[in-house]
Structure 1
Amino acid sequence: MEEELNFNFSIYPEEKVIYISEDSGSGAEYEYENIDDIGEKIKFYLENYYQEKIEKTEEKGKEL
């Protein structure tokens, strides 16, 4: 089976904080303003911590 990346997203509306983590590691906490901002925070997290893994997966798919 291919590698799978699993993430946990916890959103705390009263504090306007999102916590993003992977099951096997620590995570990151970001403040947000609105739902669009949440999307930007998730994108930022993935680009900073998993872009290489995700892009390798995309390249593999293109070769098939």
Structure 2
Amino acid sequence: MLMSSHTARHTFATMMLTLGADLYTTSKLLGHTQVKTTQIYAKIVDKKKDEAVNLVNDVFNK
């Protein structure tokens, strides 16, 4: 299965942030000139973390 360069970069950024890489380093590895460009991926990671916490909350709130 082939992956587009856009998908590969998106996956790389999301994985780096999920695994704990800092935003600045991830931004530089992607070649972004502004960290705010990389923050898009950080929001995705934050959303996934929130969803995971909500799963646990749902168990205890039943």
Same fold (TM over 0.5): no
Compare the two structures and name the one with the higher strand fraction: 1
Report which structure shows greater RCO (CA 8 Å, sep ≥6): 2
Give me the TM-score of the superposition, normalised by structure 1.
Answer: 0.33
Compare the two structures and name the one with the higher helix fraction: 2
